[in-house]
């Protein structure tokens, strides 16, 4: 059986409506700014197996990866992750830079400038 074949057309239609609403909201948010900066993932590096606490929520590690990237994957807005330092244990931290639809140039330019500032930009947390 093909993935998604168990979904009714009504569920698919509602999903498409939700995607359009999220995309519209993202477009409105990006009207007044060139890029949005977020953590690449909601925690520093961790083993890919097992469960992890995010505030009061416990999630699988692979599920947690999508917390901050899913909206941009869903809407198609360009986004990139760049290294932005290390935590106090020496584990890497990533910064996500996302921009307006079809404006990959600005996202890449901001990422390039950020990375060119060098490793002293972010102090250990």
Tell me what the mean pLDDT of segment 30-57 comes to. Answer: 80
pLDDT at 123 over 50: no
pLDDT of res. 125: 46
Q: DSSP code of 68?
A: T
Q: Please report how many Cα atoms fall inside a 13 Å half-sphere around the Cα of residue 11, on the Cβ side.
A: 5
pLDDT at 108 over 80: yes
Tell me what the mean pLDDT of segment 74-90 comes to. Answer: 88
Tell me what the mean pLDDT of segment 113-121 comes to. Answer: 77
Average pLDDT, rounded, for the chain: 84
What separation in angstroms does the CA of 34 have from each of 73, 77, 91, 93, 103?
18, 12, 29, 23, 9
- Helix (H) and strand (E) counts in the chain: 4, 5
- Pick the more confident residue, 118 or 80: 80
Percent of the chain with pLDDT over 90: 46
- Pick the more confident residue, 125 or 120: 120
């Amino acid at each position: 059986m093909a993935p998604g074949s168990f979904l009714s057309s009504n569920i698919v239609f509602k999903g498409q409506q939700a995607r359009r609403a999220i995309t519209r909201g993202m477009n409105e948010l990006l009207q007044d700014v060139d890029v949005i900066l977020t953590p690449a993932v909601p925690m520093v590096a961790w083993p890919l197996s097992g469960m992890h606490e995010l505030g009061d929520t416990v999630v699988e590690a692979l599920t947690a990866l999508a917390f901050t990237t899913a909206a941009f994957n869903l809407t198609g807005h360009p986004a990139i992750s760049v290294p932005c330092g290390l935590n106090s244990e020496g584990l890497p931290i990533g910064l996500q830079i996302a921009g307006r639809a079809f404006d990959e140039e600005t996202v890449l330019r901001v990422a390039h400038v950020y990375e060119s500032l060098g490793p002293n930009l972010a102090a250990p947390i």
